[in-house]
Structure formats: C-alpha cells, structure tokens
Amino acid sequence: MKFYNTLTKRKEEFVPLVPGKVSMYVCGPTVYNFIHIGNARPMIVFDTARRYMEHRGYEVNYVSNFTDVDDKIIKKALEESVNAQEISERYIKECKQDMADMNVKPATTHPQATQEIDGMIEMISILMEKGYAYEVEGTVYFRTRKFAEYGKLSHKNLDDLRSGNRSLLVTGEDQKEDPLDFVLWKPKKEGEPYWESPWSQGRPGWHIECSVMAKKYLGEEIDIHAGGEDLIFPHHENEIAQSECCNGKIFARYWLHNGFLNIDNKKMSKSLGNFFTVREIKDRYDLQVLRFFMLSAHYRSPLNFSAELMEASKNGLDRIVNAVDNLNYLQENAAVAELTKQEAAALSEVKAFVERFDEAMDDDLNTADAISVIFELVKYANSNVTAQNSRAFIQAVKDEILELGDVLGLILEKKEEILEADIEKLIEERQAARKAKDFARADAIRGQLLDMGIVLLDTREGVKWKKA
C-alpha cells in the first residue's frame, strides 16, 4: 500500500509504527454553520482511506476534531445573542447528522478544542521552558526561526516568506520578535469566551489545538495526518513545529492532503452565489450520490462540482444499485441452491476483480480506478449471472459487489419502496406538530422523510413533496 506523502513529495510504501495498527488524525471543521461540500471532501476521502485500511486488516485509531472556539463561532453567537457554546454544540450535532447521511463512520474519538484547554496550556508552557515560545502582554508566540526545519512540509523558505509574501504573515508584527512568529495563546476581548492561563485570561491559537489533541489521543508520534491542501500552510506546518519542538520526536510519518473543490470551474464563494452546504445538496440528491461523485476522481486532483457531473454520478450509482437489485431478484427465483463445480471455477474470475480493486486502492487510494473495477464487475454480473445459476453463486457475486461498495462507503442496496399514504400521514403529523409549536418534532419528521428520500416543499398552496 502506497501513499503520496506531502512531506517527501513522493509515493511511499506505508509502514505503520506498530504492525497491524494505524494512528490517523484528520483536521475537522470549525462548527459555526452547516458544513459545506468543500468540508465534505476530506470527510469522505479519509473515511474511505480508513475503510480501506480496515478492509486490509489494520486496526485504525481515527481521530477527527471539532474546532469549537473560533472568531467565526464568536461572531455567529453575537449575531444571535447566544453564547458561543450554544452555537458550537448546535452545529456539532448538525455536522454529525450530515456525516451519517454521507455514510462517514464516526471517528474513534471526536475531541473538541474547548475540552482540551489544560493540555494546550501544558504544551505552551513546555515550549516556553524550552525557549521556543515567549510572552508579550498576555499573548504567547512561537519562535518560528528557532525550529530549523520550519517549512519542510510546505517546502517554503522562511526568508522568501518574510520578503515576498507579506499576506502570509500573522498580524501583530509590532510586538513580535519576528513577523513570522505565530500565536499560541491570545488574551480575551470584551464579550469573548476565555480560560485562565499563566499569561492572561484568553484562549488558544488555532494551531496548538490539533497538536494537543493528536498527542493526547494518538501519542507523540503518529502514522498519518490528513486534511485539505489548504491546511498545509500555515496550519499543518505550525503543528509540526509545535509538536516536534515540544516532544522531541517526528510528529507524523505520512501527510495526506486532498485537492480543492471548485464549483462550475470557479472557487466556491458566497459572494459568487455558488456556495452549497451538504444540507442543500441533500434536498436534491441522496447523499450517496455526493459520496460517489467525490470518489469518482483521485483525492489529490482538483475536483469540479456541477449539476451535470452530479447527474452523471447519480446515473453511475444507479447502474450499480440496479445490478444488485437484479441479483436479489435472480437469487429469489433461482431453482438450484448449491454451488456447482463450474460456478466454483467461475468465482475465480470474480476474485480477480477484487484483486484489481485492491491494486487500485493500494496505489495512493485511487478510488476512480477502483470504481471502474466495480463497473466491470457489474458488467460481468449482468452478462453472466442468470436465474439458471445457483443461489450460492448469485449470492457470492452480489457479496463481492456489496463488499467493494462498502470499502468505498457506498450503500448499494435499494431502499424499500415507500407508500404515498405513509408519506401523507407523516406530513399531516408534521403539520400538527408545527401548529402545536412542537418544532423539534416537526424537524424530526422532516429529517425522517429526507432519510426516506422524500423532500418537502413548503409552498403558498401548502406542503408538497417530491422524491430526491
């Protein structure tokens, strides 16, 4: 199994620190709103990496955090006249729902930054004792130049950053020893949440959070650190500096980064009106389609999102789902139960597809090629499996398709048909709940219908529904 390591800029054979076990940290979202489809890409990609390693027999300790203290969270809280914790807890819950709908497995641990403040204060204190950090008027900074290997992940040179890229410099240059030094701890502003520390009442810088959570839940040295390529600099670069200076060990052996997601060949932005949340996509498609779309390109490649590509993904996924549904039908109507000698020999052909799937995934998680193999297996099933085959053979072919789909996190069994009467009954119950101002129940019913593939439209003429 080989991964492209951002640190070395080449594909490398994956050798874990502990045989048979993988420690993996993936930077999670800042929870101030519904997650957008840009957030969804690393969630889906690295969930798939985890699933594949588990498929290959590894025990994966998968940690993905929630950043629940941040300027954007505080701004949202002030806008709604609530405290920051209420905002973060609300959107952690919503994020977990979206992740479940995308069939992203819960992490082994989902730490929250606000629950790990003591560890951050401890790491900052160690960095100060070792001379890697200093305090000015309640703010603590990291001495970037004191870490000789700074820039080894992003392959940036400190002097080039200093002279030619002032936009990359952190603010507050007037009180720093060096403009490239970054914040580890900052004093509170009026109305902000804060914690007591030896330096000031305040809160941690963003970068220190992940260093501390990775160390606590995975150890001082980990196998894989992953995230979007926008995090390479400065976030992941700063994590390396903090962690390696504090612990005296290599922080992470393999660094994996997914490429950017564009919308109709443009960068996603609210000002351009091309900003989509996962929840908005769910109103139009089953989120399995979004997952299939995300995996149809190599994770390191830029990915362009468009209505046409989503429709193509829906059609592609439907082909596989329909093939599985057809196999279910053939299995129910098969006359023979036991596997024949001829069928046993034919299963070796089926196993060859599985080997090719693994070869694709072993090559830096090439999900695009892996999906192509599933399509070939589906074509084989459509051409070679009939009602004259035994139930055992049909079951074996179907199981292989389902297993490969599961490695990619794709649910390939058709959902049960829903009766219109059941839908109308749930809509009536929702209307009654809204009339009684039981909005929690009304939202729960809407969510239940979405899970069934039914989208509600509140119109002037009343509530209408359609299939997603």
**Paired residues of 202 in beta bridges:** 187, 195
Contact assessment for residue 216 and residue 116, using Cβ atoms and an 8 Å cutoff = yes
pLDDT at 70: 93
Q: What pTM was estimated for this model as a whole?
A: 0.88
Which secondary-structure segment (H or E) carries 119?
Answer: helix 117-129
pLDDT at 433: 86
| 372 Cβ contact partners less than 8 Å away, ≥ 6 residues apart | 360
25 phi and psi angles, rounded to 5 deg: -120, 130
Tell me the C-alpha distance between 124 and 171, whole Å: 20
pLDDT in single tens digits along all 468 residues of the chain: 999 999 999 999 999 999 999 999 999 999 999 999 999 999 999 999 999 999 999 999 999 999 999 999 999 999 999 999 999 999 999 999 999 999 999 999 999 999 999 999 999 999 999 999 999 999 999 999 999 999 999 999 888 777 644 444 445 556 899 999 999 999 999 989 999 999 999 999 999 999 999 999 999 999 999 999 999 999 999 999 999 999 999 999 999 999 999 998 888 877 777 889 999 999 999 999 999 999 999 999 999 999 999 999 999 999 999 999 999 999 998 888 899 999 999 999 999 999 999 999 999 999 999 999 999 999 999 999 998 999 999 999 999 999 999 999 999 988 766 667 788 888 888 888 888 888 888 888 888 888 777 888 877 777 888 776
Strand duo 462-467 + 303-305: pairing? unpaired
Match 């000698």 to its residue by tokens.
341
pLDDT at 167: 46
pLDDT at 452: 76
Nearest CA to 227 out of 258, 199, 248 is that of 258
pLDDT at 165: 46
DSSP secondary structure letters along 359-407: HHHHBT--HHHHHHHHHHHHHHHHHH--TTS-HHHHHHHHHHHHHHHHH
- Cα-Cα-Cα-Cα dihedral sign, residues 456, 457, 463, 467: negative
Q: In the sheet where 222-228 sits, what is the strand order?
A: 59-64, 21-26, 222-228, 252-258
Match 């914690």 to its residue by tokens.
195
Tell me the C-alpha distance between 260 and 230, whole Å: 8
Tell me the C-alpha distance between 51 and 409, whole Å: 8
| 299, 361, 366, 379, 457 from 350: Cα distances, Å | 27, 17, 20, 11, 45
Tell me the C-alpha distance between 398 and 377, whole Å: 10
pLDDT at 421: 76
Q: Which two tokens stand for residue 316?
A: 């592609």
Opening angle at CA 233, ends 364 and 135, nearest 5: 140
pLDDT at 166: 46
- 203-212: b or e for each residue (b if 16 or more CB lie within 10 Å)? bbbbbbbbbb
Tell me the C-alpha distance between 386 and 133, whole Å: 70
Residue type, 124: I
First to last CA, the chain: 38
Opening angle at CA 40, ends 71 and 356, nearest 5: 150
Match 């509530």 to its residue by tokens.
463
Alpha carbon 244 to chain centroid distance?
26
pLDDT at 169: 47
Strands (E), 132-221: 133-136, 139-142, 182-187, 202-204
Opening angle at CA 110, ends 105 and 116, nearest 5: 175
In eight-state DSSP terms, residue 81 is T
Tell me the C-alpha distance between 462 and 354, whole Å: 50
- The backbone region for 191, taken as left when phi is positive above 0, alpha when psi lies in -120 to 50, beta otherwise, is left
Longest dimension (CA), the chain: 83
pLDDT at 462: 78
- The backbone region for 365, taken as left when phi is positive above 0, alpha when psi lies in -120 to 50, beta otherwise, is left
Contact assessment for residue 398 and residue 380, using Cβ atoms and an 8 Å cutoff = no
